[in-house]
Structure 1
Amino acid sequence: MATFGIALLAMAVFWEGGIKPIWRPAMMHGQVTGSPLQKINAFIDVVQTASQRLDVRQATEALASRMASGVGYFSHVLARVPAMIGYEQGRLTLRALTHVVQPRFLFPHKPNLGGDSWLVRQYAGIHVADEKQGTSVGLSYMAQFYIDFGVPGMFVPLFLYGLLIGLIYQSLRLAAPSPLFFQSTVMVIFLQHFMSYEGEIAKLLGGLIQTWLFFLLFLYVCAPWLHRHLLAHAAIPSTANAPA
């Protein structure tokens, strides 16, 4: 496990400080073209170039800065709200709830949420890259709850959000035909969700509920049949082990 962690850290440093500064601009400016095989060859060339030019110290600092960006943005928000910008009194949370309860097939003119960089620019006061540069920099939902309600009001929606996650967890446990199905489903839903911690609450909440409903339907409709099929297949002795 320790070896795996070290290898994962090394790959993250190599990506953030070596590959990403070369590969992302090339993708953004349309320099990577051709067939999928040609793109793979181009990526291999970038990896080789990055391995020769990698500055480990600079790459480590870039990775640390990237991993701590959410905390850094939140600290800027704390300094600016409400000293320079007033609390939003629930506007961001209401925007998220409105977006979730209005499915697009019933509300085709529902506006797209777009990128999240405007939150960092407006409330943290940091001019980060946006969708015009081919990226989106998010502000954590904890910071958004603070912008809406301040302290201690932010802890109420945080508690309700955690309660929702707990209810989703429990519903999946009750619907799953076996612990294996339950664990697999929970890993897919919550790993993806918590990795997007810095995303906008409207997108996180909508994505969480949509994914939950999909897997809940799968567990009720398809998983029982699949579970019985797997058990029946496992119970059939193989030809090699069958008695002569």
Structure 2
Amino acid sequence: MDIGIKKIGLSSGIIAFFLVLAALCLFSQYPLLALYGMFTLFIIIRSTWTRYQPTVIFFWFVYQWVQVMAGIWYADIIGNRFEIVFRNNSVEKTIILCFTGILLQVFVVKAVLAKQKLYTLDQLKEAASRINMNRLIILYVVSAALYPLLFKLAINFGEVTQVILTVTKIKMLFTIMLVILLFIRGEKKTLILLILLFEFITGFLTYFSSFKDVIIICLICYLSFIRQVKLSTILKLSPLLILLFTLLVFWSAVKPKYRTYVNEGTRAQQVQVESSDALKKILDLAGAFNGKDFQKGLYSLAHRIQYVFFLSKVVDRIPELTPYEDGELMLSSLRFVIVPRFLDPDKGIHDASVKTSKYTGYRIAGMSKGTSMAIGYYGDAYIDFGPIGMMIPIIIIVILVGWYYRFLMSIKINLIMVYAITMTFVYNIGYFESDIIVILGNIKNGFIMNLAMIFTLYPVINRYLTSGIIKKHDVYGMNKQSLSSTL
């Protein structure tokens, strides 16, 4: 039996591989800055990745790290200094602030989760053995059928849009449960893989790149159940990571044409054509995709992933041209999130681009143009309090994220379902590029919804899934024929 719980193991091969990556930083235009980034990544890995626990907090930090580190990568790809690529003189200072902020957040969330109850692989196997797979698949099919209807309702009824969008995450919850059971029990592989393929294909038919979600979900689940990271782990993940990278490059290249087609030139952030037409369009774009398009997509992706451009421009302008807001942004954000619309009919619609335009000096297209671009919650904190004071709000944010994680992990139902709930809702909190209103709103809506579901739907689903088991599974021998034996 595996009863040990500790931080994820790193083999000597992985340590050597990491040192090679660090050595490659010396070839960057900004070697010390890149090395600081690699040090930050190492601390993230050692502090937030615990074996057999949901790795969604780990992913949350890694994704934010990528969005900062990509600023260095982008300048190196272009082959020019920050001042030329980003057209301001504050990029280096901004990246240092961001890595420092991420490190502080890591140390704080580590303290918040220090007393979090941890689970063993044997406990997960026991919980998995009690799930009725057939009934879980039925619930997935029902949620997938209802998803388009709920999404349309969310768009057409603005007063409850966020509530309905939160409910639609139930489909992701069932998908994650299927992936976890695929790794632990290894049953119904063909059917579950077909479901994942369906999620992947339909993800291309949305306005946003939701096809990537199913790949990331599989990655998060996989990383949650490995004992030690080895070079073989990277080799196993390489096809998935290469696929994800290639698809993101493709999407970055064809996205403008595809979106113009599916919204019929209305600039609305929704698909207004039939699914078959959207699929035909994406296939046509794939058929015409060539090397020139790949290069275009690569540069576009590198620019899109990095998210220090707007923030560095803010740092460049504030307080030299515009004074700090001294907390006004935070207060207005809290009012927007906390006060319901029926108490404030003049609340308006949140358009992050308005704030971005104001504080960067750029004219940024907004909701009326079918887009919204935020500075990011680090930028919101900087605008209010400057380079030192900004650390307080971002620390408060990560404390809320940690508490939210602990709340979700404390739900008293089947452990597999608890893991899926936690992965679903923490994954959808928001990231480095997210406006602070979005992050606070997602935490608030997710907390309220899950609190309500604890007393209503979750117990019903739990009873439905854990009753009517045809056979009792061999708990300790379960992984002999499952994918988890390869971890």
TM superposition score normalised by structure 2? 0.44
Call closer, same or farther: CA 1:110–1:170 in 2, change over 3 Å.
Answer: farther
Deviations 1:160-207 (A, max 9, x none): 111111111111122241321221111111111234x32321232112
Call closer, same or farther: CA 1:28–1:136 in 2, change over 3 Å.
Answer: farther
The SS at the match of 1:233 is coil
Q: 1:205 aligns with which of 425, 440, 455?
A: 440
Which residue number in structure 2 is paired with residue 91 of structure 1?
Answer: 328
The SS at the match of 1:55 is helix
2: distance between equivalents of 1:232 and 1:205?
37
2: distance between equivalents of 1:86 and 1:12?
38
Deviations 1:136-172 (A, max 9, x none): 1111101101101113211111121111111111111
* Aligned-partner residue type, residue 209 of structure 1: K
Call closer, same or farther: CA 1:131–1:228 in 2, change over 3 Å.
Answer: closer
* Aligned-partner residue type, residue 103 of structure 1: P
1: distance between equivalents of 2:397 and 2:408?
17
Is 1:60 aligned to 2:278, yes or no? no
1: distance between equivalents of 2:285 and 2:248?
16
Q: Is the 8 A contact 1:96 1:203 kept in 2?
A: no
Deviations 1:30-69 (A, max 9, x none): 59965443343334333333x147432222111000111x
Deviation at 1:233, TM superposition (A): 2.0
Which residue number in structure 2 is paired with residue 46 of structure 1?
Answer: 285
Is 1:37 aligned to 2:276, yes or no? yes
2: distance between equivalents of 1:54 and 1:14?
11
| Structure 1 residues 160-175: aligned runs within 5 Å | 160-175=396-411
Q: Which has the higher contact order (CA 8 A, sep 6+)?
A: 2
* Aligned-partner residue type, residue 468 of structure 2: H
TM superposition score normalised by structure 1? 0.85
Call closer, same or farther: CA 1:224–1:66 in 2, change over 3 Å.
Answer: same
Is 1:81 aligned to 2:318, yes or no? yes
Deviation at 1:88, TM superposition (A): 0.6
| Structure 1 residues 188-227: aligned runs within 5 Å | 188-195=424-431, 197-227=432-462
Q: State how many pairs are aligned.
A: 232
2: distance between equivalents of 1:59 and 1:36?
24
Which residue number in structure 2 is paired with residue 123 of structure 1?
Answer: 359
Q: Is the 8 A contact 2:264 2:273 kept in 1?
A: no
2: distance between equivalents of 1:28 and 1:79?
38
The SS at the match of 1:24 is helix
Which residue number in structure 1 is paired with residue 370 of structure 2?
Answer: 134
The SS at the match of 2:467 is helix
Q: Is the 8 A contact 2:353 2:365 kept in 1?
A: yes
1: distance between equivalents of 2:244 and 2:293?
18
Q: Is the 8 A contact 2:357 2:364 kept in 1?
A: yes
The SS at the match of 1:175 is coil
| Structure 1 residues 170-181: aligned runs within 5 Å | 170-181=406-417
2: distance between equivalents of 1:114 and 1:28?
24
Which residue number in structure 2 is paired with residue 241 of structure 1?
Answer: none
Which residue number in structure 2 is paired with residue 242 of structure 1?
Answer: none
Q: Is the 8 A contact 1:140 1:200 kept in 2?
A: yes
Which residue number in structure 1 is paired with residue 77 of structure 2?
Answer: none
1: distance between equivalents of 2:352 and 2:265?
22
Is 1:6 aligned to 2:245, yes or no? no
More displaced 10-residue stretch of structure 1: 25-34 or 78-87: 25-34
Deviations 1:105-124 (A, max 9, x none): 3x151422332112221112
Q: Is the 8 A contact 1:189 1:212 kept in 2?
A: no
- Computed over aligned residues only, the root mean square deviation of the Cα atoms, in angstroms, reads 2.3
2: distance between equivalents of 1:151 and 1:30?
40
Q: Is the 8 A contact 2:258 2:282 kept in 1?
A: yes
